[in-house]
Amino acid sequence: MNSSAAQPKEWAKQIQDEWKILEKDLPETIYVRVYEGRMGLLRAIIIGPAGTPYHDGLFVFDCFFPPNYPHEPPMVYYYSGGLRLNPNLYNCGKVCLSLLGTWHGQQNEMWIPGQSTMLQVLVSIQALILNDRPFFNEPGYESSYVGVEGEKRSGKYNEDVFVLSLKTMIYTLRKPPKHFEDFVTGHFRNRALDILVACQAYKEGARVGSVVLKDGVADPTKLVHGSSEEFKVTIPKMINVVAREFVKNGSRNCEQFQASRS
């Protein structure tokens, strides 16, 4: 990667304009850090949206503005920890998205120089990739698996993804991204109890993503039941491991979950 000093002034101005857009319009669930000495680099953490199998997780991306930016899209690398928890996010770090030119799509979905922005890239990752039915992100699945069969496969995929999301939480806690150490610690201290309450509801049969918390407990009027028996066996083991990590991280009221067994 070339240093910022070697780039033309027009490139630097474009990056500064991107910073201003991010500072003004970035959603509360996306955090970025830029580097004045290396303007071509940007690191982002996206919080998994509520109602999805990614809820409360932290997903880390490194972004690079190439020398020809904005005439070509930015490059984005995902820190997978070796886990494949979405059809669009590869173990190797590749992010499959039309806007990045890493996947084909309609013309209006592709990168448009002078119009598309880094903000658009980050919001698209959160909304289009980290969604509530990622099974159907796989090309052709929406037309191949319809009706009851499609919903069954999608539900099972969400269960698998949530387990991988819990493993990603552990990985991120143990090896937080540089310059985001305090953020990671604080996020999981604040969200630990809610994550474990949701896990407990999943253990008792709630479908992944259907848990809505009210005063620290799962709202029974919002729950949708129908998780698989295999998932009910797996999730208690994960509760114990995740609770242990949260306690080590300084979270309170999580010790009660460490003894969870099925």
Q: Which three-class secondary structure state does DSSP give residue 34?
A: strand
d(CA 237, CA 235): 5
Residues 6+ apart with CB under 8 A from 154: 133, 135, 136, 145
Q: What is the dihedral of CA 118, 120, 123, 124, to 10 degrees?
A: -110
Tell me if residue 92 is catalytic: no
CB 203 within 8 A of CB 236: yes
d(CA 161, CA 71): 35
Amino acid at 212: V
Of the residues 63, 92, 96, 254, which is catalytic? 96
Rg (CA), the chain: 20
d(CA 169, CA 58): 7
d(CA 170, CA 149): 32
Residue 220: both structure tokens together: 């029974």
Residues belonging to the active site: 96
